[in-house]
Amino acid sequence: MKIAILGASGNVGTRLVAEALRRGHQVTAVARRADNQADTAQLTHIAADITDPSLPAKLRGHDAIISSIHFTQASSDDLLALVRASGVKRYLVVGGAGSLEVAPGKLLVDGADFPAIYLDEARAGKNFLDVLRGISDLDWTFLSPSALFIAGERTEHFRIGADTLLVAADGKSWVSFEDYAIAMLDEIEKPAHIRQRFTVGY
């Protein structure tokens, strides 16, 4: 498949690029700053902001677009305008854990102990998900990680959930960037959550 990754130079974006290449897909890596890595037959780099008027044409013909951009760094209007202008229907979003439920009707982000440093990003992510839930012209998917989202190992052993935060037997809620990337690429190859949010964790 031909997959475009927005925010390809970030912690999650680099793992998504690596996982897609590992599986033999053609990847277009989009980031604000040009990557020093040379283009290959399988990997193309584009240095551009999502509001660059030339970007939609460069994304045309892709099978899927993944957005791995912080919600406080790009508006939902700009991202959705870009995807729609590209003509690509399959749109996947690297989400956050804040919008996951920890109890019926109670979101993680609303907890008293939610870290203040992540509040703006978490609330912006919830708002983005709310916008997506009102959209029917794109085949979108929003993938939320667990509460702790860090560099780790590619284990291929994880659980999939829906709208509730996944917590392991030891009380820890976490997932590695590497295993998250597996879950995202699995969803592209075998869609199971069209116009839905799902989550991944141990």
Q: Is the confidence at residue 36, as pLDDT, over 80?
A: no
Give this prediction's pTM: 0.96
Q: Say what the pLDDT of residue 13 is.
A: 97
Region 52-78 average pLDDT: 97
What average pLDDT score do residues 38-46 get? 92
Q: Which long-range contacts (CB under 8 A, 24 or more apart) does 132-135 make?
A: 132/76, 132/93, 132/195, 132/197, 133/195, 135/80, 135/195
15/180 Cα distance (integer angstroms): 9
For the chain, the domain total comes to 1
Res 62: pLDDT:
98
Both structure tokens of 21: 């290449």
Please tell me the predicted confidence (pLDDT) of residue 38. 80
Residues 32, 16: Cα–Cα separation, whole Å: 17
| Residue numbers of the domain that contains 61 | 2-201
Confidence of residue 2 (pLDDT cuts 50, 70, 90): very high
pLDDT (tens digit per residue) in 91-112: 999 999 999 999 999 999 999 9
In the structure, what pLDDT confidence band is assigned to residue 33 with cuts at 50, 70 and 90?
Answer: confident
Q: What is the CATH number of the domain that holds 16?
A: 3.40.50.720
Instruction: Please determine, for residue 35, whether its predicted confidence score (pLDDT) is greater than 90.
Output: no
Q: State pLDDT tens for residues 132-176.
A: 999 999 999 999 999 999 999 999 999 999 999 999 999 999 999
From the number of C-beta atoms within 10 Å of its C-beta (0-12, 13-18, 19+), residue 23 rates as middle
